[in-house]
Structure 1
Amino acid sequence: MVLTDRQRSDLHAGIYEYLLSRGPEFESVATALAAADPDACQQSTTDDGNNESKTPTKRSSSSSSSTPLLEKKWTAVPRLQKRVLELEKQLATNAKHTAHRQTALGLDASDIAGGGRDRRFLPRVCAYTLQSHRSSVVTCAIHPIYTVAASGSEDGTIKLWDYESGDYLKTLRGHTNMVSGVDYSPSGVYLVSCSVDLSIKLWEVKEEYVCVRTLRGHDHTISDVKFVPPSFRAVYLEKSGGGSGSGGGSAQSGGVDAASAQAKFVVSASRDGSIKFWDIETGFCDATLSDHGDWVRCLAVRGARGESNTESGEGGGEGASSTSVDSLVLVASSGNDRTIHVYNAYDKREKVAELRGHDHVVESLSFLCSSALPQEKKAASAASRKANTPNTWDYLASASRDRTVRLWSVSNGGSCLMTFRAHENWVKGVVVHPSGNYVLSCGDDRSIRVFDIKSNRCMRTIEDAHPHFVNCITMHYTLPIMISGGVDNSVKCWQLD
């Protein structure tokens, strides 16, 4: 690198100043430099103390008390280099995240500008295979805000993964037997897990996943656990300053959204034939429901849509408000008795539907995602009314060992809308696509299948999604990411198109 005359002059001035500050031992060297470049050295001494002499002995005392320019620049270089490296690292991280969303997840510039609303976001190819568990992966969940996925295994551990980079993050230890269920709270503050060891554990996310509470009360294996979002009424009262209702939670400042407020209850299912509601704050069991006659294996929870239907009387008379199933927080449960029970999570926890039709054990349930955005719910309901079809917000999907996936409407007591028959073995996991247009399932035939609700057909099949049985599947409700876990001890992150 070639220096300009000005830069070379400044360099000589800095060296000369530094030599003078080092004392008599460097006087001869400073004198030689002053003789070689008198203009630069004269400028240095003039700037320091208005001393016109070019000799080292004439240097003003004021300059010796200040830090030489050369030392300032020398110490500034590594500091600036460190800052440059930090900024380059941040740029690389941002570029990686952008590339992941644009390519690995199937997004392009037009999708980002339009929010990706026109894309289907269905599984295409596996982006990452995450290996760390020592036994079969039984359950998985995705954090609603952070790019973190949690998986529970027969090895008794919960592992956390960064699904954007495919990196392993952390292992949570506390259960002494198989972890059978994990779930994040709607606000992302807590992770809850349940186990064959008869315990339910609550982990606080912001405190590096410290276990803050352990719940006990079931008499047999705990099969599943879910957070119960607060009722719309409770959130509305708290936000409006009108007090708190049953199971209330804090509302976000951007609007009254029961699904995004902090949950106050968790619900668990057990082999003892019961489902229990637990108060997170006290740790006590708030209610026990025992309508099932056998092992309760799975749960699904749906948040309230946040509005009540208003129906007009005949002849255009005065409208009468009636609370529909849309405005309720629902909990669905099923298992070995092949019957699906749907309860109101609040208001005495009354049963609102009982669904029958499966010929074998029901392994998994899924509502249209309870955390879907309020405007999406309203749009889905309006579209359904316009098309004279069942409200997608009412959809409940079930997966069974009878090799079928069934889609139910929970309104008006419940009814089976359609049955998908494509799997060649037990169906172990099911999820309703956030758009309400598809149902995705996985099973012991090692496949992941996508069913189109409108056409009532299997529109996509991923054969050999895992080398062995596929136990669980879940999707993020706004980001195009899908996670699956299998008997091969692995967790897979799937690209969506």
Structure 2
Amino acid sequence: MAMGTTAKQRSEINIAIAAYLQSNGYLQSLNAFMNEAQILDENADLTGSAQVLERKFLTNARLQIKVSALEKQVQQLQQEVTSEVPTREKRKREEWIPRPPEKFELVGHRNPVTRVIFHPIYNMLVTSSDDGTLRVWDVLNGNCERTLTGHTNNVNDIAFNKKGDLLVSCSADMSAKIWDVKDGFACVKTITGHDHSITSVAFTHDNLLITASRDSSIKMWLWSESRCVQNFVGHESWVRMIRLHNGGKYMASCGNDKMIKIWGIDNRSHIVDLFGHENYIEVVAWAPNDVVNYAFGGKKPASDAKDPDVLIEGEPLILASAARDKAIRLWHVNKGICLHVITGHDNWIRGLVFHPTGKYLISVSDDKTMRTWCVEQKRQIKSMPVHKQFVNGVDFHSFEPYVATASCDTTAKIWECR
């Protein structure tokens, strides 16, 4: 018997053990134990004690799990301290990267969270889910402000317009919905016209709506009139994502045909196809203009309109893409060439976002991690587990040091950068 227990405690432990043996039918062991422990039948009250030992064991197991989790967090913090990682206050904005632990875990969706996006102006986050709803969250306190309902199937993608006064969502119910942010997120229009699930959406700078679908088509809409004004034809299969360049002149699309297509928005024309991925392409992300300071090793490439390899004149346009081949590719879109291939994830990559300064690229994957990559050095500088299940999306706040992630574990999380 361990030292430090009183006679009463020892008696209670003995009775609990005897009760456990009796309730499970270990009668020979019970008799031997009661004789050795000097428990007399007439004095032993085993009723009500049968579950004591099991409850104590389960409580111990739960405590061990909690202790293990806390020890892991302490170890992570110690590593950051010993490696002299500066606090957010001492670190320059261009050096901010997400670090554990999470600032908020956003709980409320009933099914996997498919996307997370920050509002371009306000401290607001919107999530979409396979439960058919959107939720609006306060970034500063992690509270859910409202739930948007109306879709009848999985919500696949969401996007704000440039001013942030409109939100669009799209769904496997083959519709896209426009929500008026200033009017309490009232649904002001429902767009239909695709023959299959709508998988991605975006606004142009003049508030035209673009939708992409599993029916392999991309459509441009004058949404106020529910009228399709352009069909972008060329993909041979499911279009998984569309994203517009920050300047608004170009659009990238990707999908199951393993190609990325670059389109001109002003003349609504196809420019170039980008090939290289060996499996379905899940995501594309345009880099901010400052990325040229890092993507070309600090040397900005000369713009030569006479170069026959130049497809798009002007400032260099950098695009990142990721696929089920577990690779990230950086593209020089002006010439239609792949600059670099970055590997490291152990499963399909689901989300990409550039640091606002272009210095880093953040990726999330089905391997349940979020990884930070140095664009200039083309190497991983941090990897951390962020969710219990697949991670579906990621976004970087445009002016605050926050990153958000979405997961199949039905939660979203906000991570502080420092």
User: Shorter-chain TM-score: which interval?
Assistant: 0.7 to 0.9
Residue 445 of structure 1 is aligned with which of 362, 367, 392? 367
Residue aligned with 2:103, SS: strand
Hey, what does 1:350 align to over in structure 2?
A: 269
Q: Which residue matches 2:286? A: 367
In 1, distance between residues paired with 2:131 and 2:333?
Answer: 36
Hey, which of these two has a bigger chunk of strand by percent?
2
Q: Is the 8 A contact 1:427 1:444 kept in 2?
A: yes
1:477 CA drift (Å): 2.3
Query: AA paired with 1:279?
Result: L
Alignment partner of 1:226 is 2:214? no
Provide the rounded CA distance (Å) in 2 between the counterparts of 1:384 and 1:488. 34
Q: 1:98-497 alignment to 2 at 5 Å? A: 107-108=88-89, 116-117=92-93, 119-125=94-100, 126-229=102-205, 263-304=206-247, 329-347=249-267, 349-369=268-288, 377=289, 387-389=298-300, 394-412=317-335, 414-462=336-384, 464-497=385-418
What pairs with 1:88-103 in structure 2 (closer than 5 Å)?
Answer: none
User: 2:316 touches 2:333 (CA, 8 Å); kept in 1?
Assistant: no
**Partner of 1:188: helix, strand, or coil?**
coil
Q: Identify the structure with bigger relative contact order (alpha carbons < 8 Å, sequence gap 6+).
A: 2
Aligned to 1:21: none
Deviation at 1:283, TM superposition (A): 2.4
Deviation at 1:281, TM superposition (A): 3.1
Distance 2:240 2:406 in 1: 17
After superposition, give the CA deviation of every residue in 1:404-457 in whole Å (9 maximum; x if it has no partner): 111111112x11111111000111111122211221110110000111111111
Q: Which residue of 2 aligns with 1:72?
A: none
Percent identity over the alignment is: 34
Deviation (angstroms), 1:389 = 4.0
Paired amino acid for 1:335: G
Deviates more, 1:380-389 or 1:283-292: 380-389
- The amino acid that maps onto 2:364 is C
- 1:234-255 deviation digits (Å, cap 9, x = unpaired): xxxxxxxxxxxxxxxxxxxxxx
Give the match's secondary structure for 1:123: coil
| Number of matched pairs | 320
Separation (CA, whole Å) in 2 of partners of 1:386 and 1:483: 29
Greater Rg over alpha carbons, structure: 1
Is the partner of 1:124 in helix, strand or coil? coil
Matches within 5 A, 1:43-62: none
| Deviation for aligned residue 1:146 | 1.1
> When the two structures are superposed, what TM-score results if normalisation uses the length of structure 2?
0.73
| Contact 2:195–2:215 (Cα < 8 Å) also in 1 | yes
User: Separation in 2 of the partners of 1:417 and 1:385?
Assistant: 9
| Distance in structure 2 (CA, Å) of the matches to 1:302 and 1:335 | 18
* Residue segments in structure 1 that go unaligned for 5+ positions in a row: 1-104, 230-262, 305-327, 370-376
Q: Deviations over 1:82-138 (max 9, x none)?
A: xxxxxxxxxxxxxxxxxxxxxxx9642x77xxxx54x41211121110000000001
Q: Give the whole-Å Cα distance in 1 for the aligned partners of 2:164 and 2:246.
A: 15
Amino acid at match of 2:142: G
User: 1 or 2, which has the higher helix percentage?
Assistant: 1
2: CA distance, partners of 1:148 / 1:267 = 23
Unaligned runs of 5+ residues in structure 2 are 1-85, 303-314
Match runs of 1:44-83 below 5 Å: none
Distance 1:382 1:399 in 2: 22
Scaled by the length of structure 1, the TM-score of the pair is 0.62
